[in-house]
Amino acid sequence: MEGRREVVVTEEEWPNAAVAFARAWSVLLGKGGGMAGGRGGSALLKSAGRWEVRGSRTLGGEVQYLCLERVAVAVGEDSRGEGIGEGSTGVELWEVEESDDDEEALAGPTTLQPPASRDSGTGVVHLYDFHVVHNPSYQVPEVFFFGRCGRDGRVLNFEEVARDFSLHAPYSQEDLSSVFVPKEHPLLLLPWYGTHLCETPGLLRAMLAPREGGCGLHLEPELRYMVSWWSAIGKHFGLGLPLELVKDSLASQQDVVREKSVTRAERADINP
Amino acid sequence: MEGTKPTTSQAADVQREHWRGAVALKLELHPDEVTTVPPPAPLFVLAPRLGYLPQVAQQALEHFGSVLPPGENEIWFEYQGVPLKWHIPTGSLFDLLSEGDGQYPWCLTVHFRSYPRNILQQVTGDSMQASYFNSLKESAYVLTGSSNSVMSLTKKSQQELWQNVLQSQDVEFFANMQKMDLAKPTRSRIPIRVYHREKVFDSFTGWKSIDYLSKSFDIDAEKDELTARHLFRDCLKSHSEEELGKVKLVVAGVELSLDVNVGDMYSHLKNADNWLYLVLKPATS
């Protein structure tokens, strides 16, 4: 009987996994998210922008982490009952103080695509930053997120955050309140939010186990891991990647790569 | 002390002293929250090293409650103008931030209003307990490859264990850990949290001047003996030999030689959440 190997991404594997995920995301959503929109991806996914990989200096050297920032989440009226009028696109954004090390890797502002629902003129937008940091204890990626009001930069509380995502994810505010948890960002040392972690290794083990009939995704291991991981997490934010899209776009690319390398190997056999 | 392992009874003594250690606090209410003349006298209180600052909230409220302006009470603490993170065990917080050999008492400003939500996680009903159990789960995973031992605790068992922590009941705590199957590491990894301060902690430097690392180390895999020196100089490579000469290592309120074995430190000086907290600060501080 096959031993149950821990399904983890080690510290050594993490940087490659992060880069592979960021690249794959760009491939899937690069063209204005059009592909995603047509395949069951949410409006939020279309406008979310791209992941970047940044480095942060810590005691143990530099660690890489993924960032997806300034994701504009339309929330209708502000939870305080105030809407905003048109012409409010020129907001002054209050910046979370980040460590100096992050600045050198900033790639410039992500272009905001205003969500369709803002056209009504009374929609409020909350801006969310997502960071994915490798957790060295559980050896899995860990998502952290933080929200602020797009109009006045006010930091959003737990209830507001759960409510915001309940408008875009297939979960109620109560469901999300039991998944989300306040957590300190391990690099910024500031209060952000995260998700309950303990279940993740087991969940991933189940998802990545080899199956009869081979209906799993044919992707490089790190990318397969990250895509599987995000498929468990991303849907809580309305940012789940549609499976069909992943299979068609990514898997076919991987097949092309594999065909090329097979051909090279065959050639090597002929011409040693 | 190199080369001499403590005897079992010495080890038990060390552990008991560690558990019964407390930080003497002198709490003064922030002037903005004082509605009486003259202002209230400061409160002197002992905070268990292995506990967390908000656990003195009730005593503080009893002492200061009558002079507070109207509003909801959300306790938070400030040192040198900087809000203090409450999820760091009190003893380690004190070791990290205080100057000199430790100020007795440690003078803090206490607040009950204007909670700085942008800097501190909120403390609601059971946040402290939840934070403690999250730490315990994570260390259990490092030690055994699974958090099940902690996740399968009944609410009642959790409450019992948490009370043991709050009241520094070391005997009951370890008895409960045995009963709950929480005491048997199956892997040779040690979970360690390092807090490193290079400058004076004040309103200019604040938490940005603190480096934090949470990591585990395999005691068997290290060819050399796993001392703190080896950990920082060779494993983490965070400090050169020369730089190590300029810092001091403080664990459980005691300055330790960098050549003490980390495994021994872990056995005797680990915190209630099964993490070993190491504080590095300037040797001159």
pLDDT band per the 50, 70, 90 thresholds, residue A89:
very low
Residue A239 CA to residue B32 CA, distance in Å, equals 44
Query: Would you say residue A108 has pLDDT above 50?
Result: no
Global ipTM: 0.89
A114 to chain B, any CB pair closer than 8 A? The answer is no
**pLDDT at residue B87, as a whole number:** 95
> Can you give the residue ranges of every domain in chain B?
21-111, 127-179, 187-282
pLDDT band per the 50, 70, 90 thresholds, residue B103:
confident
pLDDT band per the 50, 70, 90 thresholds, residue A88:
very low
pLDDT band per the 50, 70, 90 thresholds, residue A39:
low
For the stretch B121-146, pLDDT in tens is 988 878 899 999 999 999 999 999 88
**pLDDT at residue A118, as a whole number:** 39
**pLDDT at residue A100, as a whole number:** 41
Query: Would you say residue A33 has pLDDT above 80?
Result: no
For residue B255, the Cα-to-chain-centroid distance in whole angstroms is 15
| Stretch A233-245: mean pLDDT | 86
Residue B267 CA to residue B15 CA, distance in Å, equals 9
Kindly report which listed range (A40-49, B16-25, B89-98, B107-116) carries the lowest average pLDDT score: A40-49
CB contact under 8 Å between B196 and A59, yes or no, is yes
Q: Are A22 and A53 in contact (CB under 8 A)?
A: yes
Query: Would you say residue A271 has pLDDT above 90?
Result: no
Q: CA dihedral in degrees (A251, A257, A260, A265; nearest 10)? A: -110
Residue A213: both structure tokens together: 């009939």
Secondary structure class of A246 (helix, strand, coil): helix
Secondary structure class of B25 (helix, strand, coil): strand
Residue B62 CA to residue B68 CA, distance in Å, equals 11
Mutate to test the interface with B, among A137, A139, A185 (most CBs of B within 10 A): A137
**pLDDT at residue A124, as a whole number:** 84
A137 to chain B, any CB pair closer than 8 A? The answer is yes
**pLDDT at residue B279, as a whole number:** 97
- Up-side HSE of residue B70: CA atoms within 13 Å toward CB? 0
For the stretch B21-71, pLDDT in tens is 999 999 999 999 999 999 999 999 999 999 999 999 999 999 999 999 999
For the stretch B148-176, pLDDT in tens is 899 999 999 999 999 999 999 999 999 99
**pLDDT at residue A250, as a whole number:** 66
* H/E element, B211: strand B210-218
Q: Are B132 and B162 in contact (CB under 8 A)?
A: yes
A142-A130-A80 Cα angle (round to 5): 120
CATH of B127-179, one of 1.10.246, 2.40.50, 3.40.50, 3.30.70: 1.10.246
In DSSP notation, A131-166 reads EEEEETTTTEEEEEEEEEETTT-PBP-HHHHHHHHH
Shortest CA gap B40–chain A (Å): 32
Shortest CA gap B87–chain A (Å): 9
* Buried b / exposed e along A62-95 (16+ C-beta atoms within 10 A): ebbbbbbbbbbbbbeebbeeeebeeeeeeeeeee
CB contact under 8 Å between A198 and B208, yes or no, is no
**pLDDT at residue A104, as a whole number:** 36
In DSSP notation, B37-49 reads SSPPPPEEEEEET
**pLDDT at residue B224, as a whole number:** 64
**pLDDT at residue B86, as a whole number:** 96
**pLDDT at residue A114, as a whole number:** 41
**pLDDT at residue B174, as a whole number:** 92
CB contact under 8 Å between A138 and B145, yes or no, is no
Residue A123 CA to residue B267 CA, distance in Å, equals 57
Nearest CB to B191: which of A137, A190, A197?
A137
pTM for this prediction: 0.84
pLDDT band per the 50, 70, 90 thresholds, residue A28:
confident
**pLDDT at residue B131, as a whole number:** 93
**pLDDT at residue A272, as a whole number:** 47
Which residues in chain A have their CB less than 8 angstroms from residue B210's CB? 189
Residue type, A65: Y
| Stretch A9-24: mean pLDDT | 93
The mean pLDDT value of chain B amounts to 91
Query: Would you say residue A40 has pLDDT above 90?
Result: no
Same fold flag, B21-111 and B187-282: yes
**pLDDT at residue A207, as a whole number:** 76
A190 to chain B, any CB pair closer than 8 A? The answer is yes
Kindly report which listed range (A66-80, A97-111, A232-246, B95-109) carries the lowest average pLDDT score: A97-111
Q: B21-111, what's its fold?
A: Ubiquitin-like (UB roll) (3.10.20)
For the stretch A138-185, pLDDT in tens is 899 999 999 999 999 999 999 999 999 999 999 999 999 999 999 999
**pLDDT at residue A246, as a whole number:** 74
For chain B, helix (H) and strand (E) counts, in that order, are 10, 10
**pLDDT at residue A176, as a whole number:** 93
Tell me the CATH class for B187-282.
Answer: alpha beta
Within 141-180 of B, beta carbons closer than 8 Å to A belong to: 141-142, 145, 147, 151
**pLDDT at residue B285, as a whole number:** 76
Query: Would you say residue A268 has pLDDT above 70?
Result: no
Of the ranges A64-68, B120-124, B187-191, B218-222, the best mean pLDDT one? A64-68
In DSSP notation, B130-162 reads HHHHHHHHHHHHHHHS-SHHHHT--HHHHHHHH
Secondary structure class of B89 (helix, strand, coil): coil
For the stretch B86-100, pLDDT in tens is 999 999 999 999 987
Residue appearing with tokens 């030689």? B257
> Quick one: closest CA in B to A193, which residue?
B121
For residue B232, the Cα-to-chain-centroid distance in whole angstroms is 20
**Which residues, at least 6 apart from B121, have a Cβ–Cβ distance to it below 8 Å?**
A182, A183, A184, A191, B85, B86, B87, B127
